[in-house]
């Protein structure tokens, strides 16, 4: 998973100044009356004079303590047979170590209604629980660092595209699951805390600090190993320090709500601290609608190949055998997706969209980048197979802009 981008995790606690204020009042009720600072997520000016370093520090400490048992280790072990010095040996060796976040607890009771144990569900990265050798048998273990125990876990399911997976394990200790936040409400500049296991369990539960660098980023990835990027995904960018071993951790608000599962980082001599988290809304949708139900994950596609109109130069248009861009934008800057081809099984196969048409809007939004549109369809948070969506496009055959409703397939 190394190339320019490597997949590592983190448990990142995102603290916005807004959430910081409200959460501090929860954690420090004695200061509730004296810190009457309000921000209605409008243009209201916050009086920062009343915020002290101690307030911020206490919030971070309290939230970290609240989450320390919910952020766990995930160990992947390979079981194999070999010959060493002429002797047959059956061994179980650790192949990788990552992180995970407990999000669900189920009580297990005996016939008398007494709780005997709990079943915990944790979300992590797919690559954390995936072995590299097809000749080995693998087992996944949940590592609870503050009890220093390993518990064999069961893989509930995973997504072959988005780098996430769900495991479950039974235990007798009571652990508080985390709560999902609405990742659509994340804002650039929110403070974040990362909690995870960098470089293994010697540094279990390490904490780092940063901010949300970008609330919405779109990145292409090669998900089938053929060295061709075939999947576009949506991420939250942040600068909290992440390292190998953090994979599968989360991104949290100051009051401990999960807004993302961290999964990759850009590595370069010229780039530093660019980490990315899968938004919690994506994780929640995949868990609730597919993985926990055992339903195959299928995503809608438009069924076209296309080019971004803004990126087409006259030279590219001529050399690629495309038709010239029509004069339909008035004073606006050109936008849309130039349709190069239409497949027979996509969402647009039964629409009026044809080769050389230009798709202008999708569900009311102007289209400027094919990857952004693909990423939105891939999140499975707003659009699903069967969803009806209104599009507008320039029709070459009719020489006008047409509005049509399509059903996603």
Active site residues: 127, 163, 247
Q: Are 136 and 80 in contact (CB under 8 A)?
A: yes
Which 3 state secondary structure label does DSSP give 119?
strand
- For 7, 210, 259, the CA distances from 271, given in Å and listed in that order, are 16, 16, 24
Q: Where are the beta strands (DSSP E) in 222-256?
A: 231-238, 250-252
Long-range contacts (CB closer than 8 Å, 24 or more residues apart) made by 19-26: 19/190, 19/253, 19/254, 19/255, 20/51, 20/56, 20/59, 20/191, 20/254, 21/46, 21/51, 22/255, 23/59, 23/63, 23/253, 23/254, 23/255, 24/55, 24/58, 24/59, 24/254, 26/255
Q: Are 43 and 224 in contact (CB under 8 A)?
A: no
Which H or E run contains 341? strand 337-342
Task: Give the C-alpha separation, 379 to 141, whole Å.
Answer: 28
359 token code pair: 């798709």
Computed on alpha carbons and rounded to an integer, the radius of gyration of the chain in Å comes to: 24
């Amino acid at each position: 998973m190394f190339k320019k981008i490597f997949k590592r995790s983190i448990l990142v606690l995102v603290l916005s100044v807004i959430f910081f204020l409200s959460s501090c009042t929860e954690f420090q009720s004695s200061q509730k009356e004296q810190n009457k600072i309000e921000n209605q997520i409008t243009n209201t000016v916050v009086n920062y004079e009343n915020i002290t370093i101690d307030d911020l520090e206490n919030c971070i400490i309290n939230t970290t303590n609240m989450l320390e048992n919910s952020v766990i280790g995930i160990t992947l072990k390979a079981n194999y047979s070999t010959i060493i010095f002429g002797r047959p040996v059956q061994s179980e060796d650790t192949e990788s170590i990552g992180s995970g976040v407990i999000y669900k607890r189920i009580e297990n009771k005996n016939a008398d209604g007494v709780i005997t144990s709990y079943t915990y569900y944790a979300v992590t990265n797919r690559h954390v629980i995936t072995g590299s050798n097809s000749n080995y048998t693998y087992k996944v273990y949940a590592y609870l660092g503050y009890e220093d125990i390993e518990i064999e876990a069961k893989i509930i399911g995973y997504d072959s595209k988005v780098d996430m997976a769900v495991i479950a394990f039974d235990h007798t200790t009571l652990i508080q699951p985390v709560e999902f936040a609405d990742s659509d409400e994340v804002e650039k500049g929110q403070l974040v805390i990362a909690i995870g296991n960098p470089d293994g369990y010697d540094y279990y539960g390490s904490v780092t600090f940063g901010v949300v660098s970008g609330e919405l980023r779109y990145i292409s990835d090669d998900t089938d190993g053929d060295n061709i990027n075939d999947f576009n995904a949506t991420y939250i960018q942040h600068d909290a320090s992440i390292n190998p071993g953090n994979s599968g951790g989360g991104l949290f608000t100051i009051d401990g709500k999960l807004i993302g599962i961290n999964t990759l980082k850009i590595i370069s001599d010229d780039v530093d601290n660019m980490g990315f988290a899968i938004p919690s809304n994506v994780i929640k949708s995949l868990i609730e609608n597919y993985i926990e139900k055992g339903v195959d994950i299928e995503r809608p596609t438009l069924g076209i190949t296309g080019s971004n109109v803004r990126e087409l130069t006259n030279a590219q248009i001529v050399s690629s055998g495309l038709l010239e861009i029509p004069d339909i934008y008035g004073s606006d800057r050109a936008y849309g997706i130039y349709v190069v081809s239409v497949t027979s099984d996509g969402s647009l196969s039964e629409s009026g969209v044809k080769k050389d048409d230009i798709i202008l809007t999708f569900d009311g939004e102007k289209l400027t980048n094919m990857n952004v549109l693909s990423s939105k369809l891939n999140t499975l948070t707003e659009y699903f197979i069967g969803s009806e969506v209104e599009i507008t496009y320039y029709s070459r055959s009719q020489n006008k802009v047409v509005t049509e409703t399509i059903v996603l397939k």
